[in-house]
Structure formats: structure tokens, C-alpha cells
């Protein structure tokens, strides 16, 4: 590597290393082309995972752990992406997941399509700012059109069927579609249990999703209470406690230790016996304090040794140890109890109440879990997933999370549009029509926006094994003729393109968020015309995976 010698103000020599050959700086159209290539590559990876017939991706982590999923946010999160624009696409998918919980694949495919069409406009000499402005105008037209084609979707807790149909749309492309309806019902029941329809709010903290390997996916159930992956601390303790009054402790069943650097020397047998008596006395005092408060079950965040465990068994006080912080909080919320940091502070008022606490056994593995049911605050629920292996459980958790988010969105905003690419085709036609009325250069960007919207139905048709161009052309002409915005891609071959008949429904908030986030990211990328520093990965093909 070339270098030259120089001297500082004290006459000390140092070498200046020239590494400009390793650095790159992209400007103008070159920078735009590099960014668009990166975005197209990421969108291309996800495109085949879109829709009910979408394919899964296998992600192998640095430790060799395997994840199989078709959830866009999960795929991108686990991809080893190096290019800076590709990283922005990962963040785009993540923000859709955080805000809406569904549509994480669609938003990336749409952003990739918008940038791909922007590249053609750049080649024709249109300025990137004019393209960004045109996309903004087109997005406004699309939003207004979505409002006109949306329908009110009444969320009535007594009539769950429409909500179940909505959840089934979300779960259609997931691994859990073997027990499609059962999973949808569980998701709906969970949301209805914790939803507040007056304030239109859903507290997700009250819904816990637990999984246990083994059993069939059909064994998945909804527990009106809390499941903890623990068992009673002693095998001879009762396996069931009815009318449980539980002390929820964050202090261990241990004698106090010297908090300073003082040492404790045991020099004789008498000293040892004294220490032993002191420990037993302290244990007895702790157990008595719990008994005096009226508790018949102890939930402890920390462990306790065999001596304390044996004493609890003798005094007929069932206990659970090493219960994690989040579980402790959820148990306290569900049972209406208070978390107590010191035995002296324990009172009858601070106890949590539950109708029954029982132990669950699993097959021949001798695994055990605790179920706390009939809680004082009946709103806390747990979805308990079963599956053949860890990968299925993890994918099941992601699928249930998507379904929960979609139903939550419907509680907060009860407007829907129809899926299967129907709303995208309808918006595409509306934007094309609006573009004809624009006399400025932005009309080209608006037409490109309309074409980009068609990438979603095209991908759906392609993944379903249909001829994409013919299918899309047919649906577009029928939507124009029949003035029916519900016509979409028949991915499941049910011999009808009317998505209302197929019960393929999407929340309006999800569709709006997809378009808004995709347009915002596209505008941001189009405005970058200079990239400085970094290794050669900044230019050319994006370093990925």
C-alpha cells in the first residue's frame, strides 16, 4: 500500500497511508442505481413469500440455528444485510411489524416496485425530486380511493364469525393453516378477552403466548389465566391448589447474609449448631409470616435451598421457585395480587387470588407446567401452542402474533378493504385515471406508481401458479366493467374472484400503512445522490447474506 513520511510539530515522524483506492464515492445517477439495485434485490428475495401460496425461507444463523418462516419481518431481521439501503428495507419491514403487525412482506415488495419503476423514469431524464413529488400525489389519490372503497366492519363480541373470517385471512399463508379455523378462533377469543370496546383499546401485555414441544398443533388451547413453565418446588407437594391465595415474593427463602465484608468463622461444633438453629428459626419465621397472611401458595422469583424446600413441605405450604420477572408481573396482574419485596410487608390485602392452580404433565418427557386459572382479573389470557418441534412452535408464535395484531387493528379502526390484490388493482386504476388529469411532469411518476401497485397482485398470481399477466389483465378489465373493487386474484382456486365471497379481508389501517411507509422510504432513497466513505460494498452489487 502506498504511503509517505511526514513530521508533526515536535519533529516526530508518522506515515500517511493512501487508501483512497479502497474507498468509493458514489454520486448522481450512479448512487441512485446502486440504491435501487439493493432495494430490488431485497424485494426480490421476499416476493416469492407473498400470499397464501407463498414459499418459506430457511434462515441459518451464525450458530447454526435454523428458522423456517415466510414472515417478511422475520426473514429480513435474520438476513445478514450489508448494503445501507438494504438495511433501510429491513427497518421498513420492522416498522410495519411494530405498527400494524401484518403486511410486512407486502410493504417491502411495494417499496421495491416503486424504486424499480423510478429507475425507468430516471433513465428518461426525470429529476428524482419530481418523481418523489409524483409518488406523493399518487399516494394521496390512493388514500382517498381506499376510503371510498372501504366498508364498515362491525366488531360485535357476541358475533365472532366475521372476526374469525378476518383472522383466517391472516393465517392463510402461515404454517398453522392445517388447523386454520381453530387458530383463528383462539386469536379472536384472546383479543375479545382483553379488549376494551369503550376506549377501543387492546392491552397486549395481558396476552401471553407460550409454546411446548410435543403433541399435535391441534392440541393448542387458550387458557383463561396464566401458564408458567415451572412446577412445584417439591415433588411431594400437591399437584392442585383450589381457591389459591398466593403470596407473590421477590425475596428468597434464605437467612439474611452479612451485607459487608465481614467473615463468619465457625470454629466449633457448638458454633455450627448455633448457626443451624438460627437458620431454622429464620426459615420458620418466614414461613409463619406467609401463613399468618393467609396464603396457601407461594410464588417466588428467587430460589431456595433444599432445607427451606423441605420445611415448606412440612408446613404444607406449596411453593414455586425461579419464576421470571415478566411472569411474576403477569401473575400479579391476573390474580390481583401485589409483588412483595420483604416478608415483613406481606399482608392479607396483598395476596393474589385464583380459583385453581394445577400442574400439567406432558407425555413421557415428564415436563411439567403450572396453570393458574379462574383469576380475580379474568382478562389475562395465555395461548398455549403445541407442535412437533421448536421451529413449528416459533413459526406458530409469529403467526398468532400477526392474527392478534390484525384483530386489534380492527378494534381500534373498524374499516376493511378486500385482499387478494383487489384493493391494489382498484387503487392502481384510480391513480391512472387521476394521472390523466395532471398536466405537469408528475403524471409520469403517478403512472409508475399505478404500475408499482400492480406488483402485489402479479406476485400473488405468480406464487399461486397462475399466468400473472393474463390474470391481472382479466381482473383489471372486469373491475372497470363491473365497477366492483372487490375483485382480486383467486389464489385458492375457489372459482370466484370476488374476495367478499371468499372472505379475504384486510384492515384499512394495514393497507394505508403499507402504502404510506413504502412511499416515505422511496422518497428518502430518491433524495440520496451522494454516498461517501465505506468499503467497495457501497457501490455495485449489494453485499448480502
**Which residues are tagged catalytic?**
71, 104-105, 402
Maximum Cα–Cα distance across the chain: 101
* 4's grid cell: 509517505
For helices 422-435 and 128-149, give the axis angle rounded to 10 degrees: 120
Taking the C-alpha atoms of residue 257 and residue 240, their distance in angstroms, rounded to an integer, is: 34
Taking the C-alpha atoms of residue 382 and residue 388, their distance in angstroms, rounded to an integer, is: 20
CB within 8 Å of 515: residues ≥ 6 apart:
110, 139, 142, 143, 146, 427
Taking the C-alpha atoms of residue 471 and residue 456, their distance in angstroms, rounded to an integer, is: 13
- Check if the beta carbon of residue 293 is closer than 8 Å to that of residue 348: yes
Handedness of CA 486, 492, 493, 494 (dihedral sign): negative
C-alpha distances in angstroms, 322 versus 3, 34, 343, 429?
61, 52, 17, 59
- Check if the beta carbon of residue 77 is closer than 8 Å to that of residue 98: no
SS3 of residue 382 by DSSP: strand
CB within 8 Å of 448: residues ≥ 6 apart:
114, 117, 118, 120, 121, 131, 134, 135
Amino acid at each position: 500500500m502506498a504511503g509517505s513520511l511526514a513530521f508533526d510539530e515536535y519533529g516526530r515522524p508518522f506515515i500517511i497511508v493512501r487508501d483512497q483506492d479502497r474507498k468509493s464515492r458514489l454520486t448522481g445517477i450512479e448512487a441512485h442505481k446502486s440504491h435501487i439495485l439493493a432495494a430490488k434485490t431485497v424485494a426480490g428475495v421476499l416476493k416469492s413469500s407473498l400470499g397464501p401460496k407463498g414459499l418459506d425461507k430457511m434462515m441459518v444463523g451464525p450458530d447454526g440455528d435454523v428458522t423456517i418462516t415466510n414472515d417478511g419481518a422475520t426473514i429480513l431481521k435474520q438476513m445478514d444485510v450489508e448494503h445501507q439501503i438494504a438495511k433501510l428495507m429491513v427497518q421498513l419491514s420492522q416498522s410495519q411489524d411494530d405498527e400494524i403487525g401484518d403486511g410486512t412482506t407486502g410493504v417491502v415488495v411495494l417499496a421495491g416496485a416503486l424504486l424499480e419503476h423510478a429507475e425507468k423514469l430516471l433513465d428518461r431524464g426525470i429529476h428524482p425530486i419530481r418523481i418523489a413529488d409524483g409518488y406523493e400525489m399518487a399516494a394521496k389519490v390512493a388514500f382517498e380511493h381506499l376510503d371510498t372503497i372501504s366498508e364498515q366492519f362491525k366488531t360485535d363480541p357476541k358475533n365472532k364469525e366475521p372476526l374469525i373470517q378476518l383472522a383466517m385471512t391472516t393465517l392463510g399463508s402461515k404454517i398453522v393453516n392445517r388447523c386454520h379455523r381453530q387458530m383463528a378462533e383462539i386469536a379472536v377469543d384472546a383479543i375479545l378477552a382483553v379488549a376494551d370496546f369503550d376506549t377501543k383499546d387492546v392491552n397486549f401485555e395481558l396476552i401471553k403466548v407460550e409454546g411446548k414441544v410435543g403433541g399435535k398443533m391441534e392440541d393448542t388451547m387458550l387458557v383463561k389465566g396464566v401458564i408458567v413453565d415451572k412446577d412445584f418446588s417439591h415433588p411431594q407437594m400437591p399437584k392442585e391448589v383450589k381457591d389459591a391465595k398466593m403470596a407473590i415474593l421477590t425475596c428468597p427463602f434464605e437467612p439474611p447474609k452479612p451485607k459487608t465484608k465481614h467473615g463468619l468463622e465457625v470454629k466449633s461444633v457448638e458454633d455450627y449448631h448455633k448457626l443451624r438453629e438460627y437458620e431454622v428459626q429464620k426459615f420458620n419465621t418466614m414461613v409463619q409470616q406467609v401463613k399468618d397472611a393467609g396464603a396457601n401458595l407461594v410464588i417466588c422469583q428467587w430460589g431456595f435451598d433444599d432445607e427451606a424446600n423441605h420445611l415448606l413441605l412440612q408446613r404444607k405450604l406449596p411453593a414455586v421457585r425461579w419464576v421470571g420477572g415478566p411472569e411474576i408481573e403477569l401473575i400479579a396482574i391476573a390474580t390481583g395480587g401485589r409483588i412483595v419485596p420483604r416478608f415483613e410487608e406481606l399482608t392479607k390485602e396483598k395476596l393474589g387470588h385464583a380459583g385453581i392452580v394445577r400442574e400439567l404433565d406432558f407425555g413421557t418427557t415428564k415436563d411439567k407446567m403450572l396453570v393458574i386459572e379462574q383469576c380475580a382479573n379474568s382478562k389475562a389470557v395465555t395461548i398455549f401452542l403445541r407442535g412437533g418441534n421448536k421451529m413449528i412452535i416459533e413459526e406458530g408464535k409469529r403467526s398468532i402474533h400477526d392474527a392478534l395484531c390484525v384483530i386489534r387493528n380492527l378494534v381500534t379502526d373498524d374499516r376493511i378493504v378486500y385482499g387478494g390484490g383487489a384493493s391494489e388493482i382498484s387503487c392502481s386504476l384510480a391513480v391512472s385515471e387521476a394521472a390523466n388529469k395532471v398536466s405537469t411532469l408528475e403524471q409520469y411518476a403517478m403512472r409508475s406508481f399505478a404500475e408499482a401497485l400492480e406488483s402485489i397482485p402479479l406476485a400473488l398470481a405468480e406464487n399461486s401458479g397462475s399466468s400473472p399477466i393474463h390474470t391481472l389483465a382479466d381482473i383489471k378489465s372486469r373491475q372497470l366493467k363491473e365497477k366492483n373493487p372487490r375483485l382480486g386474484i383467486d389464489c385458492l382456486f375457489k372459482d370466484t374472484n370476488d374476495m367478499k365471497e371468499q372472505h379475504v379481508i384486510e384492515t384499512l389501517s394495514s393497507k394505508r400503512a403499507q402504502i404510506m411507509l413504502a412511499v416515505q422510504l422511496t422518497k428518502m432513497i430518491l433524495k440520496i445522490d451522494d454516498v461517501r466513505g465505506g468499503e467497495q460494498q457501497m457501490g455495485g452489487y449489494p453485499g448480502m447474506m
